[in-house]
Amino acid sequence: MILESSAAWRMLDEWERDKPLPQGADALWHRGTGLLAGMVPRQRQVLRRARNVLALEKTFAEMTDHKLQEEAGRLREIFRLGRDGPQDLERAFALVREVAERQLGEKPFAVQVAGGLALAQGCIVEMATGEGKTLTATMPATVAGWRGRGCHIVTVNDYLAKRDAEWMGRIYRFLGLRVSFIEQGMEPRDRRQAYLADITYGTNKEITADFLRDRLHLGRLRGAASALLGRMALGGRSPLDRLVQRGLAFAIVDEADSVLVDEAVTPLIISGPGPNREQLEAFRQAAVAAAALNSPTDYTVNLQYREVELTPEGRDRLAAAVSSLPGVWQGARRREELVTKALIARELHHRDKHYIVSDGKIVIVDDFTGRVMPDRSWRDGLHQAIEAKEGLEITDPKDIYARISFQRFFRLYGRLAGMTGTAQEAAAEFWQIYGRSVVVIPTNRPCVRKVLPDVVLATKELKWQRLVEEIRRVHATGRPILIGTRSVRDSEHLSELLNAEHLSHQVLNAVRHREEAQIVAGAGQRGQITVATNMAGRGTDIKLGRGVAELGGLHVIAAERNESGRIDRQLFGRCARQGDPGTAQAIVSLEDEFVCRYAPRLTGHLHRRSAGRSDDVSSRLTRTAFALAQRRAERLALQQRKSVMRADQWLDENLGFSGVS
């Protein structure tokens, strides 16, 4: 089936929506408008309008199913023609509430309605874990579907995309809407049909990849006129006939901070094989040459910026070591690039932390979620350098056909909204990059989570001892415990310590991810101990077992602070959901990599002061060191994300797409 021409041609103009980030005085003005936008009492507004929606409950409850569908048809026509007003939106939301109860047995609460209203305004909505974001999205998605230009609901994996489309689809179909989903492995014909639905669920990776493939089909076409000329020249055929998407009208992004912030620096690349036998051998030789160099004599390592630089002595030593090698090794610049990449692989990318080895292949581990990413690889030869370091078969480098970062892609939507459990910390970035305001929605029931002060120890060894002692103490009360670690290696180390103490537990990490659903399902049961990487903080729901609430609920322990406060808050958010009790605490050390990397001077001073102490060294100053390190890490990450987007824009302006078709 060929896409409707009017819908297809919208694809040609979307690229122009992406404007460069403001600079200089424009940036100051943009930041100022963001501060003013943040002062608008949006929370109060959406909560007030939510009460208006709930006031219509009786009106729709008295209607038969047939009458509800007639009302849906009437509202659909109003929204399709763009003749809607505030009262029409409120009636639409009230209608969806009633349909949700009849079809699913679930009626959105007032706070969910308020969240839906904020999404309809194009805001980033912060809703606590367990507050029902999936159902919240159905209200603005229905209205967007009625407008006739499509709505994309972006989820974090294929499983959730399919589950939510099927689960919520009963609401949409009752209201006269078509719903579908995109998943890996779908044929272009099926993808085209899925995008023609009124509401389409899919992951950020799949939707962005389809957009890039469509752009490649379009080649150099930049407007409707050139498309028409191309169609006439080709005898009625056109690149438009090969598109699968029909435009980027409206997107609702689930886990918005993960997709729009944490993954923003990860470009999605369409590539093809570019075999080069000589280059593969060079990666092996570079690993051998790098192993002969020593720090700091031959090279220096900057942990904060994750950089490695050869010293003059190192350059001379390298030149002498490879003098007999042919080809690329005779050029100073190329040989130094190869060996520097090998040193980065050795010094800054560690097995069971940044990647695992599975079936003889390097599999990247997501820093923020702890989940494996088998379909991704590092760029610019880094993946091959790590394969050489591990002594594995080196894969062929790829030739890049097209690329775009996620942050740039989502700026192309006509309207963008998102929802997450942690958005406040990134409010400034959501405005600067996407022009989206953050609205915090209160919980349906008061949150009674108790966050205890951080416990700071002088050394890592003392930290592990304290962790085991705390786990044993809480376990004796019968409460379930969730311990969050930053790496596979740390989770396995803690598991060994618990085994030595005969404390039965479950481990959830990138190596043992297959058991995730079962482990999470039981993590809230009485006496359960769960050790997990950050993967326990996304897309999971830990429900308390019988009698656990009376014991105090789930106790969460962070074994190390993360580079973003949002990730810490996500982990702590696993407890005390929907009014349940729960406690959370971080147990850290002055030798933790994170704080040593981002606050080295202060940490070094505190470590010297604490030398020889085996007790708790917690104080306002030691806790300040971790807060300072976190602020620096977040600031550097923001700068990196901005630089990636500027690089994307430069590449498009100077190189463009290859025009492969």
pLDDT, tens digit, 9 for 90 and up, residues 301-356:
988 778 899 999 999 999 999 888 887 888 899 999 999 999 999 999 999 888 99
Size of the chain in residues: 661
Q: Residue 141 pLDDT > 90, yes or no? A: yes
- pLDDT: which is higher, 403 or 148: 148
Q: Residue 463 pLDDT > 70, yes or no? A: yes
pLDDT at 2: 40
Looking at residue 170, its amino acid is R
What's the mean pLDDT in 442-462?
A: 94
* Mean of all residue pLDDT scores within the chain: 87
CB atoms within 10 A of CB 561: 21
pLDDT at 17: 61
pLDDT at 501: 96
Segment (H or E) for 556: strand 554-558
Would you call 583 helix, strand, or coil by DSSP?
A: strand
pLDDT at 271: 77
What's the mean pLDDT in 294-298?
A: 93
pLDDT at 651: 65
Per the CATH hierarchy, to which homologous superfamily does domain 5-268+406-440 belong? P-loop containing nucleotide triphosphate hydrolases (3.40.50.300)
Q: What is the CATH number of domain 275-396?
A: 3.90.1440.10
Torsion of CA 130, 132, 134, 140, to 10 degrees: -140
Query: What are the angstrom distances between the C-alpha of 303 and each of 146, 241, 499, 598?
Result: 51, 50, 33, 8
Q: Residue 631 pLDDT > 60, yes or no? A: yes
Query: What are the angstrom distances between the C-alpha of 117 and each of 90, 389, 484?
Result: 9, 52, 34
pLDDT at 237: 62
Q: Distance between alpha carbon 304 and the CA centroid of its chain, in Å?
A: 22
pTM metric for this prediction: 0.84
Q: What is the DSSP letter of 262?
A: I
Q: Residue 480 pLDDT > 70, yes or no? A: yes
Phi-psi bin for 66: left (phi > 0), alpha (psi -120 to 50), beta? Answer: alpha
- pLDDT: which is higher, 279 or 43: 43
pLDDT at 8: 47
Tell me the C-alpha distance between 431 and 120, whole Å.
17
- pLDDT: which is higher, 113 or 15: 113
What's the mean pLDDT in 640-657?
A: 68
Helix (H), strand (E) counts: the chain: 27, 21
Please, where in the chain does CATH 3.40.50.300 lie? Answer: 5-268+406-440, 450-629
Tell me the C-alpha distance between 412 and 405, whole Å.
11
Q: 450-629, what's its fold?
A: Rossmann fold (3.40.50)
Torsion of CA 124, 577, 106, 199, to 10 degrees: 30
pLDDT at 243: 87
pLDDT at 67: 97
Bond from prior residue into 296 cis (ω within 30 degrees of 0):
yes
pLDDT at 407: 87
What's the mean pLDDT in 46-50?
A: 96
DSSP assignments along 464-487, one per residue: HHHHHHHHHHHHTTT--EEEE-SS
Tell me the C-alpha distance between 219 and 458, whole Å.
59
Decide the pairing of beta strands 267-273 and 398-405.
antiparallel
Tell me the C-alpha distance between 238 and 217, whole Å.
9
Least confident span in 146-160, 305-319, 395-409, 435-449: 395-409
Q: Residue 249 pLDDT > 50, yes or no? A: yes
Give 117-139 pLDDT, tens digit per residue: 999 999 999 999 889 999 999 99
Q: Residue 566 pLDDT > 80, yes or no? A: yes
Least confident span in 206-220, 363-377, 586-600, 616-630: 363-377
Closest CA to 643 of 8, 23, 4: 23
Least confident span in 26-40, 205-219, 384-398, 543-557: 26-40
pLDDT at 99: 98
Q: Please, which pLDDT band fits residue 37 given cuts at 50, 70 and 90?
A: low
Closest CA to 482 of 518, 528, 517: 528
Q: Which two tokens stand for residue 512?
A: 């043992």
Exposed / middle / buried, residue 473 (Cβ in 10 Å: 0-12, 13-18, 19+): exposed
What's the mean pLDDT in 238-246?
A: 80
Give 497-531 pLDDT, tens digit per residue: 999 999 999 998 877 655 676 787 789 999 999 99
Please, where in the chain does CATH 3.90.1440.10 lie? Answer: 275-396
- pLDDT: which is higher, 35 or 184: 184
